[in-house]
Amino acid sequence: MFNELKIKAHTLKNRICMPAMITVKANDGMVNDFHMVHYGIRSDMGVGMIIIEATSVEEKGRITEEDLGIWKNDHIVGFSMLTDYLKKNDTISVLQLAHAGRKSHSNLKVVAPSAIPFNEESVVPHELTIDEINDIIESFGEAAKRAKEAGFDGVEIHAAHGYLINQFLSPLSNKRNDEFGGTFDKRFEFLRRVYLAVRKEFCKLVFVRVSADEYAEGGLNIKDHVIIAKKLEELGVDLLDISSGGVVPVNYKVYPGYQIHLSEEIKKNVSIPVSAVGLITDYSLVKNTLTDGRADIVQLGRELLRNPGIVLEFAKTEEVDLKLGFPYSKI
């Protein structure tokens, strides 16, 4: 877990990553003191890579009204301060670019590939026109351009958890019969064009997060996502971040490491790095996931929220000197 990992021109100092987790602490999408402390302390304490929480490419695309945003140039300054701080600790910084689609809880117009609500309590979303779809694709590209100006090492396209891109991918939420729906390849087209728009503006690291199993009859499963993973590798994606669920409201069993088998299956079928996530909570599970070759990077979400110093604890177990500055070197 403390071996370096080189991805293109960037080197991760260890294999521990903090995944994107929304904090609901922003006002008008702006970075504030909370975000500086929240991400800064994990960087101070040795996390190799931090993926900043879901950050909306459009104001109406926020999951909540307190989400971070990157839809206007005013957002760049705050993110620049954050990336500057992470760079001082040699922490790789990645910004997750997101659009909530029909799962938005903002007071603005809710949109989706088809006019199907997420659940009985959700509003019926507006079905996007082709022109509106193209505007959103352009918004992803503009957001990537701002992320570059803000100094991020990478961006992650959020195509998981039932948000807009996942809604286009899934036959459960996409009932279109045009260039963006009706067949597997056409449902993939929105993600393909979003990636190309992002890559045009961002030449560094571009990741994609997917839900590799939707846990619902008629939905996408791991076999479908092996195909998607291969398509993304061919396009030039630098890392695949493997999660699951969220496109429809279904119950499924969760337990420590419950998604690792999904990252393992994707990793067998691609040559680019793969990241595992999902209730990975202890040293043995992290070590075994990496040693057994089930993933190249392990993401610690809830555990890093509970214990910002967990990487230091792992380092002590491994008898590795992280060479952190005062005061953490004495912990």
Before 113, cis peptide (omega within 30)?
A: no
Both structure tokens of 107: 């007071």
Closest CA to 281 of 249, 252, 320, 313: 313
- Angle of helix 222-235 relative to helix 184-201, nearest 10 degrees, comes to 40
Please enumerate in sequence order all residues whose Cβ is within 8 A of that of 59, keeping only pairs 6 or more positions apart, or say none: 29, 69, 71, 106, 108
pTM score, two decimals?
0.96
- Angle of helix 260-269 relative to helix 222-235, nearest 10 degrees, comes to 50
CA dist 18 and 48 (Å) reads: 8
pLDDT on residue 325: 62
CA dist 41 and 201 (Å) reads: 30
Q: Which phi and psi (to 5°) does residue 11 adopt?
A: -120, 120
Closest CA to 169 of 237, 126, 114: 114
Residue whose entry in the numeric block shows the structure tokens 């997060």: 209
Check residue 30 and report its DSSP letter: B
Neighbour tally for 279: CB within 10 Å: 16
Radius of gyration of the chain (CA): 19
What does the pLDDT look like over 173-197, one tens digit per residue? Answer: 999 999 999 999 999 999 999 999 9
pLDDT on residue 327: 58
Predicted confidence (pLDDT) at residue 225 exceeds the cutoff of 80: yes
pLDDT on residue 324: 79
Q: Judge contact between 149 and 76, C-beta under 8 A.
A: yes
Provide the β-strand partners of residue 9: none
Give CA angle at 123 (120, 129), nearest 5°. Answer: 125
Domains belonging to the chain, first-starting first, are 5-330 (3.20.20.70)
pLDDT on residue 203: 95
- Percent pLDDT > 90 in the chain is 95
Task: Give me the amino acid identity at 315.
Answer: A
